[in-house]
Structure 1
Amino acid sequence: MLGLPDSITVALFDLDGVLTETAVLHRKAWKKAFDAFLAARAGGADHADFVEFTDQDYLDYVDGRPREDGVRAFLASRGIDDVDPQTVTAIGNGKNDMFLVSLAEDGGQAYPGSVRYLEAARDAGLRIAVVTSSKNGAAVLDAADLSKFVEVRVDGLDIVSKGLNGKPAPDSFLLGAEQMGVRPAAAAVFEDALSGIQAGAAGAFGYVVGVDRVGGGQAEAMRAAGADIVVTDLDELLPA
């Protein structure tokens, strides 16, 4: 059904980059936040010690992770281990403030192919949940007019309130399956982040769909991380 094994009755979708075009807003906000921190630490953006935050940094260390986990992972990649928890929180909150401004200005557009897939899933009786590390899940779903499709939402607020480990741990997806009343084997995970694909594989979910919107070897990395199939848009899974 819809490009999935017959045993699948529930779809667990990541949000940013899978259903909505908001991943680019996150990436730009992270770049501004990290570049400001790195420039201040180096003594200016024109200093020889300043090395900017890159798109690859976003994919490798931040994409799909809870906010403060992403901050710590990126700083560790640069060998920065002398930052206190308050600074980690401040970087993450600064990024979030910039993201919310961009969301208000640009809106949260849904990918047309994702909307078609959600409509087909609803019509076919495939139940839909959203599992995102973002604390802005409700705002993004509403901005993109997607809340009407979603039976259950697990987001960054749930991860914090329930003390869950963030992706690449499977905890948030497992909670989504639990709230939908199914075993992981009956649920498919849809992810654009390597950390999310790793979470789907670690949770022994019935099927893991990688959504590659960046190219450049990402599809191969997704398969290596545990994706059963990789598509560039969800409507590739629909019948011709």
Structure 2
Amino acid sequence: MSDLRAVLFDLDGVLTPTAEVHMRAWERLFAPYATAYSLEPYTTADYFAHIDGKPRYDGVATFLASRGVELPWGTPDDPPGEDTVCALGNGKDEIVNRMFEQEGIDPYPGSVRFLDAVTGAGARVAVVSSSRNAPAVLAAAGLADRFAVVVDGNVAAREHIAGKPAPDTYLRAADLLEVPAAQAIVVEDAISGVQAGAAGSFGLVLGVDRGVGADVLREHGADVVVADLGDLDASVLAGRVGGDA
């Protein structure tokens, strides 16, 4: 623990229960789509297996491939209703933004306690999310001022950074914090996220089990898995992080 100086948080499902909102948004998109095209019905298992943690368009393409469907990729400007991967992804974005406006979002209390503890111990922190909605979600959750570094889907697109399960977005966040990967903790709830942490040779990959399964997270790269970040005693970091390398 004496070598760990930064904590890199995924957003959806780690800091905020937006994963639950996203899950319902994907269901609202794909359940009627599967019915309309006589595909095998969409289930929650599809979210975890094909969508969770990935950039939005990649999630669309992976789910469609699981049903033997191949659509033109299209462009990010495609409006919902067109028959392209991007149009479907933009349709999901409309659904989830409407849900955020109508329902709001509160962070996980245990995650906020853990965030308070690690920053109190001197750790540098960042958010690493595949979502392009990360700034809006952080603002809605009252966490925007807690993170000077946010590497989200917008940053990845602008800087041409590969998304999870590639480690590149996490590596970029560590670079912006000026902390080597080996001295950073990756905190993830998604298969693709713990795979990214493992691939980037980070100091610790901490899995948060929000439904994927602890064994599955360990199998794909998590070193430690907890049900809630509030269960961790982060006081062991006090005085041991945040210093110069």
State the TM-score, normalizing by the size of structure 2: 0.89
Letter matched to residue 25 of structure 1? V
* Pairs within 5 Å for 1:30-49: 30-42=26-38
Letter matched to residue 221 of structure 2? G
Residue 33 of structure 2 is aligned to residue 74 of structure 1: no
Contact 1:127/1:151 (8 A) holds in 2: no
Deviation at residue 105 of structure 1 after TM alignment: 1.2
Letter matched to residue 164 of structure 2? K
Residue 92 of structure 2 is aligned to residue 103 of structure 1: no
Letter matched to residue 194 of structure 2? I
Match of 1:135 in 2: 132
Contact 1:29/1:95 (8 A) holds in 2: yes
Spell out, residue by residue over 1:197-218, the C-alpha distance to the aligned partner (whole angstroms, 9 max, x if none).
Answer: 0000000001000000216xx1
Contact 1:34/1:91 (8 A) holds in 2: no
With over 3 angstroms needed to count, the CA separation of the structure-2 counterparts of 1:144 and 1:79, relative to structure 1, is same
Match of 1:202 in 2: 199
* Alignment partners' CA distance in 2, 1:178 and 1:111: 27
Gapped regions of structure 1 (runs ≥ 5): 43-49
* Pairs within 5 Å for 1:1-240: 5-42=1-38, 50-81=39-70, 83-86=71-74, 87-214=84-211, 218-238=213-233
Contact 1:37/1:91 (8 A) holds in 2: no
* Alignment partners' CA distance in 2, 1:196 and 1:74: 17
Letter matched to residue 220 of structure 1? D
Letter matched to residue 46 of structure 2? D
Letter matched to residue 85 of structure 1? W
Aligned partner of residue 175 in structure 1, secondary structure: helix
Contact 1:122/1:149 (8 A) holds in 2: no
* Alignment partners' CA distance in 2, 1:6 and 1:12: 17
Match of 2:80 in 1: none
Contact 1:63/1:70 (8 A) holds in 2: yes
The alignment's C-alpha RMSD in Å is: 1.3
* Alignment partners' CA distance in 1, 2:234 and 2:171: 29
Aligned length: 226
State the TM-score, normalizing by the size of structure 1: 0.91
With over 3 angstroms needed to count, the CA separation of the structure-2 counterparts of 1:226 and 1:89, relative to structure 1, is same
Spell out, residue by residue over 1:81-109, the C-alpha distance to the aligned partner (whole angstroms, 9 max, x if none).
Answer: 2x111310011001011100111111121
Identity %: 47
